[in-house]
Amino acid sequence: MTHTFNPPPAIRSIVIAGGGTAGWMTAVALSAMLSPQRCSITLVESDAIGPIGVGEATIPPIQLFNRIAGIDERDFLRATHATFKLGIEFAGWRDETHTYFHPFGRYGDDFAASPFHQHWLRAQALGDDTPIGAFSLNEQAAYAGRFRQPDADPRSVFSTFAHAYHFDAVLYGQYLRGLAEQRGVARREGLIEAVERDGASGRITGLRLDDGGLIEGDLFVDCTGLRSLLLGEALGVPFEDWTHWLPCNRALAVPTDCIDLARPYTRSTAHEAGWQWRIPLQHRMGNGMVYSAEFWSDTAAHDALMANLEGTPLADPRLIRFTTGRRAQSWSHNCVAIGLSAGFLEPLESTSIHLIQIAITKLLGWFPDMGFDPLTMAEFNRQIANEYDRVRDFLVLHYHANHRRGAFWEHCAQMPIPDSLAEKIAVFRRSGRLLSREADLFKDANWLAVLLGQGIMPTAYDPLADGLRPTELDKVLRGMRQVIARATAAMPTQAAWLADHLAQAQPA
């Protein structure tokens, strides 16, 4: 006997509220997966409000999004005036004088039954003071201003290399919009004045615009930014405030005319009650100060930012207010929040665009029908919450493990931290081991960079790393350093790579 399937009706129309990075990324990805005959996609945005216009640094998984979305790298680099990002330099974070680098990619190679860093720890115990960064191709290439594409062959040192991008947020939005519109996404300009709901089910039925128009749909994606107009305001999903762990709540953003292709990395410089970003693009520099208004006045933050800029400002600094945290659920009824409407953990490790990408991927993985199965929604919400929680722990580590002076930094050093982070730090301190948790975007190499960078040095290392004789260990480590140094010297500069490859991609 054949089984009879009886699924609820399929989703036939999706309405995306908001046309910032989250809205257009969602539109591009959904339109790549759903044919317009099967399901219409409409994006509503208001020119009167506009996108937040920041968010210019990314992390390597964005390449996966670009692949899913069918984005050609060179086309994208040219359209968004992008540069490569090999990691982040943290200046003054551990203390006022110390600088470290958080590279993408791996440190060295694992060997003799222990992870690479355990051998490095043992070498340190034997008196070798080579910094761990000497074993990172990303860090060496970043400081040498060099770039080339990674290599998938695990025998190549370039398989340890990884990159992301810096891009112009406004150009990125325009680029995504072009792609989405080519694929049949309809754009509707208008201010959403009311969210209409079905009295019985509570589901959203339509968005009422200021011109009287009503945009109806089956599934609504809330990409309305920090205001969270649909999920937060209309459906009343509460916001979990994490200011007690991530205390910064304001930013000042200002572009300058400085062009620096010699430094393919983001720089984050700690200040009195926050930190300054520096993001080099092909045509300008993105700069900003992220700070806590409880510890620093807007004027003091403004003055510190302006005193530490490279190049001439191209505009007045723009003030942005935010609260760190996330919505208790990202999906409620027939509405999924993606982007700032779902939460914001501050830009320290450039994770927001990644969290957009994760939410899109999970929405596609758990794509609903008109039944809106509560079990599906609960699992989606659990997975998304987990992603935010893991990123939160990683960010809190930067603030908490500091030896800076001043009220803000002393507050961060003394604040209670999430248990999950406290446990991770304690295990590392005792054994150099790294606890892996479900859905941790940041892998061992990332945690290692920041734990060591912030000055947390283990008191012991893996006993199995004692297997090699000291002379053998020294030989292996020296060999790795030499391979990385040679590979770095053989790479073209970023400037040469861009000139060469973007010129080739120009239409004839």
Ligand X SMILES: Cc1cc2nc3c(=O)[nH]c(=O)nc-3n(C[C@H](O)[C@H](O)[C@H](O)COP(=O)(O)OP(=O)(O)OC[C@H]3O[C@@H](n4cnc5c(N)ncnc54)[C@H](O)[C@@H]3O)c2cc1C
Please, what sign has the CA dihedral across residues 206, 211, 213, 215? negative
Q: How far apart are CA 113 and CA 464, in angstroms?
A: 7
Answer for which of 12, 67, 227, 244 binds ligand X (CB under 6 A) is: 227
Q: Which stretch binds ligand X (CB under 6 A): 19-27, 92-100, 393-401, 462-470?
A: 19-27
Could you give the strand order of the β-sheet that contains 343-344, starting from the edge strand earlier in sequence? 239-241, 325-327, 343-344
Using the minimum distance from each CB to ligand X, give the nearer residue, 264 or 339: 339
Answer for which of 55, 105, 108, 458 binds ligand X (CB under 6 A) is: 55
- Which residues from 70-99 bind ligand X, rule CB under 6 A? none
Using the minimum distance from each CB to ligand X, give the nearer residue, 18 or 368: 18
Q: What is the CA angle 369-355-278, rounded to 5?
A: 155
Answer for which of 32, 144, 186, 191 binds ligand X (CB under 6 A) is: 191
Using the minimum distance from each CB to ligand X, give the nearer residue, 210 or 410: 210
CB 386 within 8 A of CB 439: yes
Please, what sign has the CA dihedral across residues 376, 377, 378, 380? positive
Shortest distance, position 350 Cβ to ligand X, whole Å: 4
145 binds ligand X (CB under 6 A): no
Using the minimum distance from each CB to ligand X, give the nearer residue, 361 or 493: 361
Question: What's the token pair of residue 231?
Answer: 């999920």
- Which residues from 357-416 bind ligand X, rule CB under 6 A? none
Please say if 85 is a catalytic residue. Answer: yes
Q: How far apart are CA 375 and CA 230, in angstroms?
A: 21
Answer for which of 42, 140, 224, 330 binds ligand X (CB under 6 A) is: 224
Q: At what angle do helices 137-144 and 470-490 cross, to 10 degrees?
A: 40
Using the minimum distance from each CB to ligand X, give the nearer residue, 340 or 449: 340
Answer for which of 92, 133, 217, 347 binds ligand X (CB under 6 A) is: 347
Shortest distance, position 383 Cβ to ligand X, whole Å: 19
Q: What is residue 356's three-state secondary structure?
A: helix
Shortest distance, position 58 Cβ to ligand X, whole Å: 6
Using the minimum distance from each CB to ligand X, give the nearer residue, 141 or 209: 209
- Which residues from 417-436 bind ligand X, rule CB under 6 A? none
CB 42 within 8 A of CB 217: yes
Beta strand segments in 136-283, E: 164-166, 186-189, 192-197, 204-209, 214-216, 219-222, 239-241, 250-256, 266-271, 274-280
With a CB cutoff of 8 Å and minimum separation 6, the contacts of 394 are: 349, 440, 441, 442, 446, 447, 450
Shortest distance, position 23 Cβ to ligand X, whole Å: 6
Beta strand segments in 121-249, E: 164-166, 186-189, 192-197, 204-209, 214-216, 219-222, 239-241
Shortest distance, position 243 Cβ to ligand X, whole Å: 15
44 binds ligand X (CB under 6 A): yes
Answer for which of 8, 10, 38, 50 binds ligand X (CB under 6 A) is: 50
Please, what sign has the CA dihedral across residues 415, 248, 445, 473? negative
Among residues 85, 362, 424, 475, which one is catalytic?
A: 85
- Which residues from 267-326 bind ligand X, rule CB under 6 A? 288, 320, 322
Tell me the one-letter amino acid at 414: Q
46 binds ligand X (CB under 6 A): yes
Tell me the one-letter amino acid at 406: G
Binding site for ligand X (CB under 6 A): 18-23, 44-46, 49-52, 54-58, 191-192, 223-225, 227, 229, 251, 253, 288, 320, 322, 339-341, 347, 350, 352-353
The catalytic residue positions are: 85
